[in-house]
Structure 1
Amino acid sequence: MGPAAGSKKAVASDKGILPNDKMVYFHSLVGLAIMAIFWFMSPIEPITPVGMKVVGAFLGMVYLWSAVGSLWPSLIGLVLIAISGYAGQGALGFKAVFLNAFGADVVLLTLFSMILFGAIDEAGCTKYIARWLLTRKIINGRPYSFMAVVWFTCYVISALVTPITGLILMWPITLRIMDSLKIERSDKIWPYFFVGMFAVMTLGQPFFPFMGAQLIVVSAYGSMTGVPADLTPVPYVPYMAFNFIMTMLLLITYILVLKYILRPDVSKLKGVDADQLAKEQPLPAMVWPQKLMMLMIPLYLIMLLAPSFLDRSNPVVNILATLGPLGVTLIWVIFFTIIRYKGKEVLNFRDVAYKQFNWGIYFMIAAAVYGANALSNEATGVTGFLLNVLNPILGGQSEMGFVAIMFTVALILTNFANNAAMAVVLMPVILAFCGQMGLNPLPVAMGVTMMVFVAMLTPAASPHAGMMHGRKDIYSTGEIMRIGFPICIVSLIYYIFIGYPLAKMLF
């Protein structure tokens, strides 16, 4: 086809609406229709008239978050809640919604934590972390040790930044290793290696409760349960321990199943050489700003966790408790903005924000947390409605039966819709029935929080799942389903029978 033909095709596309654009318009209309239907419907007792409008706005946002995007659906949802009269009538009520939604400390924490941890990636620190882990001599001639180190590296990078960053960084490295070892696409170990790599990334994503999409869920839980502003919504150490223990159990299980049951040929991986990898992945010596950022990571965690363990009568501990996660994050952002290297700020706020800041998550957190709080408010009557409707299904269940149903629903929904949004939707149900059954809601809520990140079976499961499904040179849909589906089922079983009892002990 010559240039002329290509030009005609481009002109035709300009004059028409592309198929993808048509689907966006279709889903947009469906989401807006959901909002409109609830706006004009007669109230379903015990939901109040205002409650119906809030429910419509929230459900419309959930649909649009999954099918279209995060930014404008969040804004229109907040607009509808604002004009519903939920926060008061007229201009004062309208302003109150946006002031409370975007003035919440969790929204500000999202902004500055994305900048701070984005700066770590911009400085190239994640590359040094990956190189250090992948050049340990324990991998020499040991195929399963090599795979374990690769997968653990994926876990660390996903937890520190995002799974998307992890995939962008790790795909080229691992593909180059596979090529050097003459491992081909047709080799049996190939799909197990790469699907396992993705699974660990998605399981590791919610490790830190104070950043990323998991912050939406954690903050919604805190908002619905009325956690005071000077306290964290969930205790950080038990939360991180919960994610780490469960992910490592699942990783060990995956390795054992591969080694002793499936037994793919891994003989080519015996050629892995840590020294050779170090030569093939050359990086310049770290400069002092990079070392300082690497040091910041453990110091940041210590500053966040110290008030949980040390006596607050100590002036330093008291200051850290006063600062909280938002204040500690701001201190580090200010520090790295002040110090300079070669005439430039170590943290160039504008550049890092341009490359690393995710506006979709920012607006979604504001809308999701405020909307979730509105749903659980007595003025809407939603909690009473959920109790009435779901009581025949969940009311007569045992504790483990209730947990199994909630975790299963979370797993199914997250593979077809936005993961954080699905957890927020389930949160009022968890709180209502845990209250009715006399259960501590925190272990159930945190189990659901982890389950909604076991998202890999469809492109709609998460942005990084969409990336995985799009790499047809690495993954086929059949391989993802054949390997990913058992991973999801085993994860569900583990979280029900191991994770929930563990969460009850930790929390």
Structure 2
Amino acid sequence: MIMHSTAVKSRDKYWIHTIIYFLLTFGFRYVPFDGISSFGMSILGVFIGLLYGWTFIGFIWPSMMSIFALGLCGFFKTPQDAFASAFSNHLVIFMLLVLVFTAFCEKSGINRKMSCWFLSRKCLVGRPWTFTLMVLIGSFVVSFLVDGNAVVFLVWNLLYSIFEETGYKKGERYPAFLCAGVAITAVLSFGCKPWCNVCILAIGALESSSRGALTLDYLTFMAVTIPLCLLFVVAYFLVMKYVFRPDVSKLMNLSDEYLESMRRELKLNSKEKIAAVALVVFMALMLIPNLMLGDAGALGMLGRFNFLSAVAVVLIALCVMRLEGRPVLDFDHCARDGIHWNVFWITAAAIPVSAAVSSDAAGITAWLASVMSSSLEGTSVVAFLILFSLIINVATQFTHNVSLVLIAVPIGYQVSQMLGLNPVALTVLVIIAAACAYATPAASTCAAIMFSNVEWIGVRNAFKAGSFAVLAGLVFLFVFGFPVIGMVYGFGM
């Protein structure tokens, strides 16, 4: 009877949320508002409805419906044009292919070998805080190279074995805050790799807002954001050591014999070696065009590569290569198990909706930017950047970081035009803020994974770890991040 009652309540909530979604998506245009036209309100309704659907219903059918709605409200001539625009975008195609590539890396076993390498160094024996820092940095590096969501579960499983070996139990403070730190560092890795969904959507929003005039140079972007995100990892480590101060004495029981057993498993087999080379080639093909000076011959060909070309070439090569008479990459298998359709549909819907929201015809971001710039009129550049970063950082804790970049980047572009700031620098700030999405379960997928681990972490510890990590990260951003971003990009136009 109780189960039946719960099912009925769940069903009723679903249909209530569904009705609200359709009212927002198709009824918002009838809300009178002087600052935005009826057409702009229609676009705003699609955007708000999409965010509501993602939050309370799911990702797939609200994404489909929102693309369809763009064709009905007049932004596209027909719904067919809306879907054609969504699926012809190179960023959507790239996301589809990179999901297959990361699935291949996971299935090859290279992810586990990389994680084990960081956790099995001889220098960790008898040094609890060195071990802690190595776990956090190792999680960050492996998450940067592959899929951070999968890495969280992988590293957690390795740590559970170490906790059992050293005598830690579920619910103790050290394993709780270390497991939380693994999820936090995985989120931070998304803030510095231009091929993740947050960066892809931010780049797409910047290109749409500037009508293709502006984009992010991958090499410069990573040169700035990788050190900053690593500083945020160090910031959490310092919080863990000096604020949380968990008991690390049991880690003295971690023997070199146990780590040696992990090191014996580090030898790569043929498929893992190929996967490792594929990772290196993929990143090289992405970064080499930024270093190319010639425009003829092989140099000219390499200079025309971008992230879509890089992942396509790597996947083609893996499909062509044979290992024991079979393709190295079983595309069907990796596509079946590796394509996270939620991520794919988020990207497919977010790009055309973001373009609609930031369009001149809608006038939404122009109005928001006008309100923001008038509210902050007379404020110094530094004060504005601090307020802007705080607003974005707080906002991303209560709405998925993917949703945040859809509206924050276009607003940042409009504000930069009014105040004479560099929109590329503001976009980098938005991406960094979106990478600090771990104070609540609504902030990001990795944050939701962290909060769901009630056995080893617990909701209270998850809130504590995420909140202190955000505060420490903001301090490091203001002290170190602003000078670095200002030096490389320049905040002024």
Gaps of 5+ in 2: none
Structure 2 residue 133 is the aligned partner of structure 1 residue 148: yes
Deviation at 1:262, TM superposition (A): 5.3
Quote how far apart the aligned CAs of 1:180 are: 0.6
Tell me the CA shift for residue 211 of structure 1: 2.7
Mapped partners of 2:75, 2:197: distance in 1:
28
Q: What per-residue deviation string (whole Å, max 9, x for no partner) do you get for residues 335-375 of structure 1?
A: 11111222322111111011110112212212211111122
Q: Which amino acid aligns with 1:26?
A: I
Q: Deviations over 1:227-273 (max 9, x none)?
A: 36xx8x31112222333212222233333454456544322212333
| Deviation of 1:496 (Å) | 3.1
- Residue range with higher mean Cα deviation, 348-357 or 239-248: 239-248
Q: CA deviation at 1:439?
A: 0.8
The whole-number CA distance in structure 2 between the counterparts of 1:406 and 1:130 is 36
| TM-score for the superposition, normalised by structure 1 | 0.90
The amino acid of 1:293's aligned partner reads A
Q: Distance in 1 between matches of 2:136 and 2:425?
A: 27
Farther-moved stretch of structure 1 (121-130 vs 195-204): 195-204
Question: By how many angstroms is 1:187 displaced?
Answer: 4.4
Q: Which amino acid in 1 is paired with 2:38?
A: P
Give the secondary-structure state (helix, strand or coil) at the position aligned to 1:213: helix
Equivalent pair of 1:115/1:357 in contact (CA under 8 Å): yes
**Residue identity matched to 2:19:** L
Q: Give the whole-Å Cα distance in 1 for the aligned partners of 2:240 and 2:345.
A: 42
Check whether the contact 2:117–2:266 (CA below 8 A) recurs between aligned residues. no
Contact 1:159–1:206 at 8 Å: present in 2 too? no
Tell me by how many angstroms 1:292 deviates. Answer: 1.4
Q: Distance in 2 between matches of 1:195 and 1:426?
A: 27
Per-residue deviation, 1:145: 1.3
Cα distance per residue 1:65-94 (max 9 Å; x no partner):
222222111111111111122233xxxx43
Cα drift, residue 280 of structure 1: 5.1
Specify the alignment match of 1:121 in structure 2: 106
Does the aligned pair in 2 maintain the 1:306–1:317 contact within 8 Å? no
Secondary structure of 2:442's aligned partner? helix
Counterpart-to-counterpart distance in 1, 2:14 and 2:387? 32
CA deviations on 1:175-206 (whole Å, 9 max, x unpaired) are 11011111234644333322222221221123
Asked whether the 8 Å contact 2:405–2:434 carries over to 1, the reply is yes
Contact 1:206–1:212 (Cα < 8 Å) also in 2: no
1:84 counterpart letter in structure 2: C
For residues 348-427 of structure 1, the aligned pairs below 5 Å read 348-427=330-409
8 Å Cα contact 1:419/1:462 also seen in 2: yes
Question: Contact 2:292–2:303 (CA<8 Å) still a contact in 1?
Answer: no
The corresponding residue for 2:26 is 36
Q: What is residue 118 of structure 2 aligned with on the other side?
A: 133
SS of the aligned residue for 1:286 comes to coil
Q: TM-score, normalised by structure 2?
A: 0.92
For 2:22, give the aligned amino acid. L
Aligned residue pairs total 489
Q: Judging changes above 3 Å, is the alpha-carbon distance between structure 1 residues 83 and 36 closer, same or farther for their aligned structure 2 residues?
A: closer
Inter-partner Cα distance in structure 2 for 1:469 and 1:141: 30
The answer as to whether partners of 1:407 and 1:496 remain within 8 angstroms in 2 is no
Give, as a single letter, the amino acid of the residue that structure 2 aligns with 1:189: Y
The alpha-carbon distance between structure 1 residues 261 and 485, as it changes in their structure 2 partners (threshold 3 A), is closer
Displacement of 1:34 after TM fit?
1.5
Alignment equivalent of 1:432, drawn from 399, 414, 417 = 414
Alpha carbons 2:366, 2:411 under 8 Å: kept: no
Within-5 A mapping of 1:191-202: 191-202=176-187
Is 1:59 the equivalent of 2:48? yes
Distance 1:183-1:103 versus aligned 2 partners, 3 A rule? same
C-alpha displacement of 1:483: 2.9
Letter of the 2:391 counterpart: V
Deviation per residue, 1:427-471 (Å, 9 max, x gap): 222111111111111122111112122222322222222222122
2:112 and 2:79 mapped to 1: Cα distance?
46
**Aligned partner of residue 459 in structure 1, secondary structure:** coil
Q: 1:20, 1:501 → 2: CA distance?
A: 50
Structure 1 Cα separation of the partners of residues 391 and 126 of structure 2 = 43
Deviation digits for residues 83-122 of structure 1, max 9, x if unmatched?
Answer: 122233xxxx433222122101111111111111221111
Contact 2:113 2:266 in 1 (8 A): no
Contact 1:185 1:474 in 2 (8 A): yes
- Aligned residues of 2:121 and 2:259 also touching (Cα < 8 A): no
Aligned partners of 1:453, 1:225: CA distance in 2, in Å? 23
Contact 2:315–2:329 (Cα < 8 Å) also in 1: yes
Distance 1:158 1:255, change over 3 A: same
Q: Which residue of 2 aligns with 1:48?
A: 37
> What SS does the aligned partner of 1:395 have?
coil
Residue 205 to residue 266, structure 1, CA distance change in 2 (3 Å): same
Output the amino acid matched with 2:17: H
Structure 2 Cα separation of the partners of residues 284 and 493 of structure 1? 38
Contact map agreement 1:418 1:460 (CA 8 A) in 2:
yes
- SS across alignment from 2:379: coil
5+ residue gaps, structure 1, are 1-7
Residue 319 of structure 2 corresponds to 337
Cα deviations by residue, 1:24-73 (Å, 9 ceiling, x for unpaired): 3333322222123323334634x333222111111111221222222111
Supply the distance in 1 between the matched residues of 2:392 and 2:370 (Cα, whole angstroms): 21
1:444 and 1:500 in contact (8 A); partners too? no
Which deviations, in whole Å up to 9, do the C-alpha atoms of 1:130-181 show, x marking residues without a partner? Answer: 1122222221211111111111121122222333201210111101101111
Partners of 2:233 and 2:197 in 1: CA distance:
22
* Post-superposition offset of 1:284: 7.7
Within 1, Cα distance between the matches of 2:250 and 2:287? 44
**Which residue number corresponds to residue 329 of structure 2?**
347
State the 1:212 CA deviation: 2.8
In the TM superposition, what is the alpha-carbon distance from 1:290 to its structure 2 partner? 1.7
Show the 5 A alignment for 1:182-193: 182-185=167-170, 187-193=172-178
2 CA distance for matches of 1:9 and 1:399? Answer: 58
Q: 1:362 to 1:94 in 2, by over 3 A?
A: same
Contact 1:134 1:274 in 2 (8 A): no
Partner of 1:475: 457
The answer as to whether partners of 2:412 and 2:423 remain within 8 angstroms in 1 is yes
